Chain A
Amino acid sequence: MLFPTTHFLLFFLVVAGAVAALEQRFTAKKAVLVIASYYFYAQWDWRFCFLLGFSTALSYLAGRIIGATWDPERRKVVLGIAVGLHLALLGAFKYFDFFVLSANELARSLGLQHELPFIEILLPVGISFFTFHGISYLTDVYRGDVEVCRQPLDMALYMSFFPQLVAGPIVRAAYFLPQLARPSTEPIPIVPALLLILGGLFKKVVIANYLATGLVDPVFAAPTSYGGPDLLLATYAYAVQIYCDFSAYSDMAIALAALLGFRFPANFNQPYRAQRLREFWQRWHISLSTWLRDYLYKPLGGNRGGRLKTYRNLMLTMLLGGLWHGAAWKFIAWGALHGGGLAVERMLEPWLGRRAATPAGRLIATLVVFHFVCLAWIFFRAEDFAVARLFIGGLGSGWGEGLQQAGPFMVALIAIGLAGQFTPDALFDRIAAAFERAPAWGLGAAAGIVVAVINALGPEGVAPFIYFRF
């Protein structure tokens, strides 16, 4: 069940109706939201619900045991077992076949005959996200950064809450569980939430979908059939597509949670305006980058062990970040590029710092970071490593042939997507303020008309969000 569909609209109407009816009964509201979340998840495959339930029970029970134990060794053992089980589940469903394939290829290259069997199981959608929820909860309980969750219902809602269940943002226990302790007394920010939904719909249904079908998919499917200009524009188009696709999902998730009375953290902040690669990661998929910082980079030692160890930690963090996206060498290459880029940037920081002080320096820095990120996106999007190499090899050729695939509409969508990176923060506030005092019927009617327009502009059907597969 995708957000921009009639099915989801009807589902959300029912949920919003139940929440309105249960305004004064917070526990019942949470129970309804858990049921709704499991229904939502079952729309992909009802068997996945057992996995989600197991992950929830594991986190809840291990959290209770860690919280009830004073012996540091025992706490560490329980944490290790629980995190190990979470990772084993993730590994079995997401990475097992990748490691078998790699081992078999290695065995063949060594002349060995025996091959390991594949298990070929369906990847449960969102497994990476709820696994990270469980791990961060347990680690925070172990560190004493969050109180033990004593209510199974709260843990079930934390792990399964449908707006963030399948593609994030990754919401920390310390951020979300306190919201479940008592009902919010804040008013529901209807106008900002509607603006996020409408903006998200436009980004996904119009920009991301047309760029995917009209330019990115055909060019990445056969890069040798196109010249450099089409390849370059397809690269820019993918940068815009993945941003519009993923940030649209995050925006809608944030808005849906807000309409149900919950706060979510920000997940994107105009990433392509970054002047440093490090800054890019402070603006892109913020909930994952901060998760990896706190649960991987810092435990590895962060920047505390001198330069070489910092570079090593950056590289390891980014390599594992790449692997998190999928079991494929292309994602590892993507992570390695970012890890290497961050290390080099850190090495050059004194030199870069002097040059970034001027407007020209800032412009050049933004362009360099954007193009580096685009280069890495080629590995991320290409079918495999070999296609990525062909794609990059083709960028320098065929410049006399002009454009075959990228028409003016595609170029306009790329321009709109990139222009959106440089709008002032205050613009959203001003638009929200303009509708602040509008009555509910007026807001509903206006939103309905805008959705109808976006729906008419979009192609038939909606492609799944890119991050569902992670």
Chain B
Amino acid sequence: MNIQLKPDEISALLRRQMQMVDRPVDVAEVGTVLSVGDGIARVDGLSNVMYNELVETEDGVAGLALNLEEDSVGIAILDDVTRVREGDLFRRTGRVVSVPVGRALEGRVVDALGRPLDGKGPVISDDMMPVEGFAPSIIERKNVCEPMQTGILAIDALTPIGRGQRELIIGDRKTGKTTLAIDTILNQAGTGVRCFYVAVGQKLSTVAALHKLLVEHGAMSYTTIILSNASEPAPLQYLAPYTGCAMAEYWRDRGGHALVIYDDLTKHAQAYRQMSLLLRRPPGREAFPGDIFYLHSRLLERAAKLSDEKGGGSLTALPIVETQANDISAYIPTNVISITDGQIFLEAGLFHEGQRPAINPGISVSRVGGDAQVKAMKQTAGPLRVLLAQYRELEAFMRFSSDLDANTLEQLSVGRSLMRVLRQAPNQPVAVHKQVAVLYAGTQKALVKVPDNRVPDVVKALYEAVDTRESGQAYTARFNAKPVMDDELKGMLNELIEETVKKYRKS
């Protein structure tokens, strides 16, 4: 970037800036730091400070007034805590924590206060929004009705997500939770959906790798990363999801569509627990404070599909929760499950068997996404859950009995081919019309006679056929014009599948 600044322009800029900041007399309401430690300051004074108000020291160290007690105020320090000493003054700002929002954030990596972390200069935005906002009321909302395609066949078919929905991604560590979320971001290219990835308490190296991946796939142009890594103070980790939500709300309120990923709310809850204990709030179950449910419910309630009168915007939330040993009945998982509109459960066992994404179709549900599912997909995926359930049951039975009738063997074969079809490599989202084609082949038992190890080749060939063959292009055009699985579309698909699959069948 070539910047040429003239001395007189610099002088003018400085003069203007000085005029803006120069005040001969400054009146402020202040409090004196009595003690400071572990990111929490106790302050004497600030008798009129509001809950959640932003306060600042003379050096500009920001804090959040969280505990308003009779004798003192408990302040969570949002900056470098070593810059605050006993006897320092905190002053009221009269405003709650606000962050820059809007186009200036596209492609940026910022911290929980919206400050840049990517070395691309300051985030200059005309608009600011408070990080804590109210969820839209009932009359401002509308039922989820538009699909939020993730590009992941297993999700789009079995647990479809709609714009404005809150779908939990839950599973043990290293089961592919973040990969699902990132794939969903990749699949939003060209859809107009703004994506916000909130990394809470994560390793910087992990986030750097994710950022690189998004850049390589050209997804950073519509994505913002809000980063509060594991080395940052707990108050910043606590704030980060609300910051991401506020940035996404900006688009929702202007009729746009936003997707926000909270990775992950387990660490967010732990950061809040740390803060609450240091603020001497009474601990409850697992030492979490009493308002731990409210912590997540007020965040996730802000995800919504707005009514047409309100512009029809949407904010979709994909919170991530980590479990221990597949235990979804722990405290935080049950809380978040009860708040969200469904969950995608990733099972470590399936992951190690090579079934990736390791989605357990039995426990995973989407309570509202079905209404938003593409019609053709809904029609095609209808029998899928039943077929998979039958397969899992028979598979367990097969371990004890070797003498199976032909019908059972066919059911097993169908189930196996479907499980193979649902396997998908990371960072390769698939368009919905291709998903429908492959799924149709699976549910119509077209892959039964294909050897198990050749199913991935057939899937790949089918994807290519949709793009390259004349019959495939005709199918795509018809699908885009009217995505309903009628006789015409079925005929086109049958022809395409027959052409593609025949050379892979067992002789």
Say whether A and B bind each other: no
